[in-house]
């Protein structure tokens, strides 16, 4: 039996290990796609979710799809002063940075929702290695995944299991600011537990959003 939920946005869009590129908003592409898009979408929906949670008295849940690669970001965690610089760019570290941002975002959002007394939770998940085209920037590795992936990594249905569990299962009711893998709470990196880093990322992300041109 599943809980009646008001709305459960799952922030799942992602790219991995791209060459250095900038988005249309001139933000490093992995950070823009994997974190900023999720941050903006969540903020756009948040007030509606809060009002609906209050009126319906039902729990809302926000799920960020992160990765165990959040443990392998740059040494400073988030390159706030160099986020869009090609110098020092490492495609895997940049991916790790964006996945670290997913965890930090969920933790900071969970704290703010709790302070507001709103019945909405925010968590992050690691879906596991899944047989998708996420590996398309790896050349030979992508070919190996296509050939042998079904024998060693998860299917798309298996990869979606933890996200669905955190979004819908009654056992997760009221749990917030956590990181899940294989439908269990697991530990995150030291950087992902840094509350000051989470707050700084929140403020930094807001500043980037405020610079976006107004669209019709």
Positions marked active-site: 89
How far lies 107's CA from each of 139, 150, 197, in Å? 34, 33, 11
Other C-beta atoms lying within 10 Å of the C-beta of residue 94: 24
């Amino acid at each position: 039996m599943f809980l009646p939920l008001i709305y459960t946005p799952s922030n799942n869009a992602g790219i991995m290990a791209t060459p250095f590129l900038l988005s249309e908003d001139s933000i490093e592409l992995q950070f823009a796609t994997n974190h900023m898009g999720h941050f903006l979408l969540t903020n756009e929906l948040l007030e509606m979710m809060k009002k609906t949670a209050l009126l319906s008295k039902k729990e809302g849940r926000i799920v960020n799809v992160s990765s165990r690669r959040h443990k392998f970001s740059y040494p400073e965690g988030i390159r706030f002063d160099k986020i869009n610089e090609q110098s020092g760019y490492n495609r895997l570290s940049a991916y790790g940075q964006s996945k670290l941002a997913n965890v930090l975002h969920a933790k900071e959002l969970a704290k703010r929702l709790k302070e507001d007394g709103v019945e909405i939770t925010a968590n992050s998940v690691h879906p596991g290695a899944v047989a998708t085209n996420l590996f398309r920037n790896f050349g030979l590795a992508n070919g190996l995944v296509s050939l042998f992936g079904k024998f060693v990594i998860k299917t798309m249905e298996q990869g979606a299991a933890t996200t669905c569990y955190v979004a819908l299962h009654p056992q997760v009711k009221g749990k917030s600011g956590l990181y899940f893998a294989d439908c269990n709470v697991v530990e995150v990196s030291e950087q992902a537990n840094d509350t000051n880093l989470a707050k700084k990322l929140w403020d930094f992300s807001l500043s980037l959003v405020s610079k976006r041109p107004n669209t019709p």
